[in-house]
Structure 1
Amino acid sequence: MTALTKLFRTTTFRLSLTYLALFSVAAVLAVFYIYWNTTVLLSRQLNQTIDAELKGLAEQYRAGGLDQLVRIVAERSQTPGNSLYLVADKDGKQLAGNLSAVSPQLWDSLGPVEFVYSRPAPGGVERRLAFANVFRLPGGYRLIVGRDIEDRRELARLIRTTMLWGLGVMALVGIGGGYWVSRRLLTRIDSLSATTRTIMAGDLTGRLPVSGSGDELDRLSESLNLMLARIEQLMAGLREVSDNIAHDLKTPLNRLRNRVEEALREPHDETAHREALERTIEEADGLIKTFNALLSIARLEAGAAGENRETLDLAALVGDVAELYEPVAEERGIGLRSEAGTPIVIHGDRQLLGQAIANLIDNALKYGALSSDGGNGRAPEVEVRTEAGEGFARIIVADRGPGVPAAERDRVLGRFVRLEASRSEPGSGLGLSLVAAVARLHGGFLRLEDNEPGLRVVLELPTEGDALVNGVAEEPPAGAESRPT
């Protein structure tokens, strides 16, 4: 397919031709309607003028006979203008008027009639169009009263010529404009197609070009770029999960296998074998929990979770989860203070939000007091509260522990990331990855702040409208981070 054929087959060029044809038809109809109405109006006025003049001449004829009629017609014929007169005897001999000769057809006519007559002109004789009313008098005499309407014919010729030239220019401009617009659009489409082929070849970093004009192609490109960014994010998450499974789960599986081999090498001892099996089951349960956490994160990031959304009181949900952790906090010797506050109504998945809140509190209880005084001279304490603002709700979990170094806060949200200070506590490093995924699913985000001392974790969620199930979450403000489990 040649470039010109490809251009002519574009939808834009076809639409341009269609609009050109429709506009041309509309223009022709409009001009024809105006011309037709103008002609009808002029003809009506001409008929009325000639009829009025005939009535006046008829009165003159009745009052003074043929001689007076001839005298009046002779006088009027001397007046310059488009008026035409003729009074002739039965043989066609002119008695008065400015029509020197008439055709047999005009002589035999009766009433209104159009005809062509000749009159002297510079350089010769010219033929002109006229309209007249033929009136027969007693004795075979004829009275003809008319008007020169050559100007009407010239007007019709001018309108016809102008219309043809106008249509020609309109067609030229329309086809040229269609060609130019189609070429511009085709250039952009070819650019989009080239980028799309690059993406189909496996380069998910490619993005559709945006011209900045804000037209429909720009809006389409922006939407597709958001979709591509989301796909790239999901693919990166998939690769990350695969890498995490390959690397981070290899150690516990090897440990599990070594423990079983060690039990098999030991002499037959039912107590030792039972203990080895119990530890193996415990290790297997931990692996199952890790796999379940990875699956939950993948489902959340793919937007395949959160179907059971309902209107709920976030403050009450936070209070209920905090109440469940009070025995754990008491056992660890940590003060757990919950301030639910006034009811905050949002639309979300109760189970996912409850799990996210539980992870935040569990993290604070685990890592908020790694030493007896939190490592900073303050008594161990975890504070859980909710806040409501215009269009958003916040869940705040703050502790008095050692916190997370500022240099590590960009890294700790990744899967299986655990800081050295937290390796003494059980965990897989997936808790806050799950919390961040829940936040994104609900259109919110997770933010880390310094609690001076300790760490303050803020989960912010929208309260107006339904959260996007598979949309891009609001970008967190500067300093938004997460902490590990």
Structure 2
Amino acid sequence: MNPQPASPDNSHSSLWKLFRTSTFRLSALYLIVFILSAGAILGHIYWNTAGLLERQTDDTIIAEVQGLADQYRIRGVTGVLDTIHRRSRDDTGSIYLLTTPEGVRAAGNLVSVPDEVAVENSGWTEFPFNVKTSTGMEPHRARAYYTALPGGNVLVVGRDIETMRQFATIIRTTLITSILIALALGIGGGLLTSRNFLRRVDAITGASRSIMRGDLSGRMPVKGTGDELDRLAQSLNQMLDQIERLMRGMQEVSSNVAHDLRTPLTRIKARAESALRSGAEGDFKAALERTIDESDRLLQTFNALLSIAKAESGQPREGLQPIDAAIILNEVAELYGPFAEDLGGSLTTDIEGSLDIRANRQLLAQAISNLVDNALKYGESPASGAPEIRLTGRNDGHDVVITIADRGRGIEPKDREHVLQRFVRLDESRSKPGNGLGLSLVAGVMKLHGGQVLLEDNAPGLLVKLILPRLVAEEAAG
């Protein structure tokens, strides 16, 4: 199938779009400034050059008039006639005319007194005259000074200014031509630049519309030129990558929530139906107690999800206050120490006196509690069969570093990034109660506080390291 030619309306619309682009407007503004600047420079050159030539011509004519006047005073009319005869024979572009008091030509290379000359006065004039050349008579223009001598004779002295007029015409023509060429090249260059710019903007617009229609895999085109449009496209692509990750995470969370809720809800329904079928009061009471337990676990899951969502959204960031993390660590150790002892293990601490940070106290305490709780569940030492946990806090340059270490099986390096996602539980942890949200909450809290969570090998066991920005003394005092 042959492509259909663009309609005149479409062509007109595309051309109008080019004229409306910011690139063309900037090009037009620059063109106007350039033309005005160039015109001012060339105009200045023209007026100064033309003025200089006119002054030189007038000075030459005045000098000759004064010389002839001197000849008249010294030798009378005879001296003037001799001088004019001699100078008229030279083709220097000078014009001379001496007339008798009756107006008859006495000497000179000008045939008659021009009509522009008022004999009764003296002054400057310009007039046309013909010059004989090899091709015939050519019209020229002369500038002359005329004056009446004391005896009634009229003296006209001038110069052929046709060459000067041609030079001025060339300058004017050059000025106009240069402006027209600059205008044409400027408009053409502006349209070409606008076309390329508009083409890239249209490509970005098309990609944006594709993404708005639901194709989250679409990305802004990057030409590789490194210009501002490439930088903008790269920033937008990074934003789209983040949005796609968040959307994918939301889909996974929705799927995992549905999966994790289906089992307890199914158990609740089965127990209720079983109790109804039996009709025994004891079965009713047992079913209600188990339903309450399942409801508590469901509420814990939802509360964890809400805490993670709040932490990752950054909404509580404005509520960050200067606190001493050492106090939180000591409180957590005091709370969980008896649990470790009941399991036959231990929870030891090594905490510096002051760990000043800016944080949300509740979220940070919950994150540290989750890590200690995980260490109690999964940190049994193979040697003793009981959890051995070490909780430390120290200042390290501009950071505060909190570590929770156990002596359990640990986590393989390939799984350490994976377990920070929601609802992720490794095979060896599925026999223990939990919802796979503890480490995800810790990662969200660290993101909120501008910190890091690192999972490292404790040889044996797992060492979780929380790195938070340290609060400087001046900021803490403020």
Question: TM-score, with normalisation over the residues of structure 1?
Answer: 0.82
CA distance in 1 between counterparts of 2:50 and 2:455 reads 84
Question: What amino acid sits opposite 2:347 in the alignment?
Answer: L
Question: What amino acid sits opposite 2:392 in the alignment?
Answer: V
Question: What amino acid sits opposite 2:427 in the alignment?
Answer: E
Please, what is the CA RMSD of the aligned residues?
3.3
Range that drifts further, 178-187 or 202-211: 178-187
**Contact 2:320/2:358, CA 8 A, preserved across alignment:** yes
CA distance in 2 between counterparts of 1:114 and 1:268 reads 133
Question: What amino acid sits opposite 2:14 in the alignment?
Answer: K
**Contact 2:253/2:423, CA 8 A, preserved across alignment:** no
**Contact 1:404/1:455, CA 8 A, preserved across alignment:** yes
Partner of residue 90, structure 1: 101
For residue 416 of structure 1, report the CA deviation from its aligned partner.
Answer: 1.9
**Contact 1:344/1:388, CA 8 A, preserved across alignment:** no
1:157 aligned counterpart, secondary structure:
helix
CA distance in 2 between counterparts of 1:86 and 1:320 reads 121
The partner residue of 1:458 within 465, 472, 476 is: 465
CA distance in 1 between counterparts of 2:471 and 2:49 reads 64
CA distance in 1 between counterparts of 2:325 and 2:169 reads 82
TM-aligned CA distance change 1:386 to 1:261, over 3 Å: farther
1:416 aligned counterpart, secondary structure:
coil
Partner of residue 9, structure 1: 17
CA distance in 1 between counterparts of 2:353 and 2:234 reads 40
2:422 aligned counterpart, secondary structure:
coil
CA distance in 2 between counterparts of 1:179 and 1:308 reads 53
Partner of residue 401, structure 1: 408
Question: What amino acid sits opposite 2:447 in the alignment?
Answer: R
CA distance in 2 between counterparts of 1:247 and 1:399 reads 31
- Is 1:106 the equivalent of 2:117? yes
1:336-415 maps to which residues of 2 (within 5 A)? Answer: 336-341=347-352, 347-369=358-380, 373=384, 380-389=388-397, 394-415=401-422
TM-aligned CA distance change 1:81 to 1:415, over 3 Å: same
Partner of residue 193, structure 2: 181
Partner of residue 420, structure 1: 427
For residue 204 of structure 1, report the CA deviation from its aligned partner.
Answer: 0.5
For residue 407 of structure 1, report the CA deviation from its aligned partner.
Answer: 4.2
1:121-132 maps to which residues of 2 (within 5 A)? Answer: 121-132=133-144
CA distance in 1 between counterparts of 2:155 and 2:182 reads 50
The partner residue of 1:167 within 179, 188, 200 is: 179
Partner of residue 42, structure 1: 53
- Is 1:295 the equivalent of 2:303? no
**Contact 1:413/1:433, CA 8 A, preserved across alignment:** yes
Question: What amino acid sits opposite 1:113 in the alignment?
Answer: T
The partner residue of 1:118 within 123, 130, 133 is: 130
TM-aligned CA distance change 1:427 to 1:132, over 3 Å: same
CA distance in 1 between counterparts of 2:74 and 2:46 reads 42
**Contact 2:367/2:441, CA 8 A, preserved across alignment:** yes
1:198 aligned counterpart, secondary structure:
helix
CA distance in 1 between counterparts of 2:358 and 2:196 reads 46
**Contact 2:390/2:404, CA 8 A, preserved across alignment:** yes
For residue 433 of structure 1, report the CA deviation from its aligned partner.
Answer: 0.9
Question: What amino acid sits opposite 1:151 in the alignment?
Answer: T
For residue 247 of structure 1, report the CA deviation from its aligned partner.
Answer: 0.5
Question: What amino acid sits opposite 2:312 in the alignment?
Answer: E
The partner residue of 1:449 within 440, 451, 456 is: 456
2:390 aligned counterpart, secondary structure:
strand
Aligned residues: 460
Q: 1:144-186 CA distances to partner (integer Å, 9 max, x unpaired)? A: 2333322221122212322333234333323332332233223
Range that drifts further, 69-78 or 185-194: 69-78
CA distance in 1 between counterparts of 2:69 and 2:168 reads 34
CA distance in 1 between counterparts of 2:346 and 2:217 reads 48
**Contact 2:116/2:126, CA 8 A, preserved across alignment:** no
Q: 1:379-417 CA distances to partner (integer Å, 9 max, x unpaired)? A: 823233345356x55433322211013343343223222
- Is 1:30 the equivalent of 2:41? yes
TM-aligned CA distance change 1:254 to 1:75, over 3 Å: same
**Contact 2:324/2:356, CA 8 A, preserved across alignment:** yes
For residue 463 of structure 1, report the CA deviation from its aligned partner.
Answer: 6.1
TM-aligned CA distance change 1:31 to 1:334, over 3 Å: farther
Partner of residue 468, structure 1: none
For residue 367 of structure 1, report the CA deviation from its aligned partner.
Answer: 1.8
CA distance in 2 between counterparts of 1:315 and 1:56 reads 110
- Is 1:143 the equivalent of 2:150? no
Partner of residue 244, structure 1: 256
CA distance in 1 between counterparts of 2:359 and 2:94 reads 91
CA distance in 1 between counterparts of 2:450 and 2:117 reads 91
CA distance in 2 between counterparts of 1:53 and 1:350 reads 104
Q: 1:427-480 CA distances to partner (integer Å, 9 max, x unpaired)? A: 211011112222333444433221211112233445699xxxxxxxxxxxxxxx
CA distance in 2 between counterparts of 1:345 and 1:89 reads 116
CA distance in 1 between counterparts of 2:72 and 2:329 reads 114
TM-aligned CA distance change 1:162 to 1:350, over 3 Å: farther
Question: What amino acid sits opposite 1:384 in the alignment?
Answer: T
Question: What amino acid sits opposite 1:204 in the alignment?
Answer: L
1:382 aligned counterpart, secondary structure:
strand
TM-aligned CA distance change 1:81 to 1:348, over 3 Å: farther
CA distance in 2 between counterparts of 1:122 and 1:344 reads 107
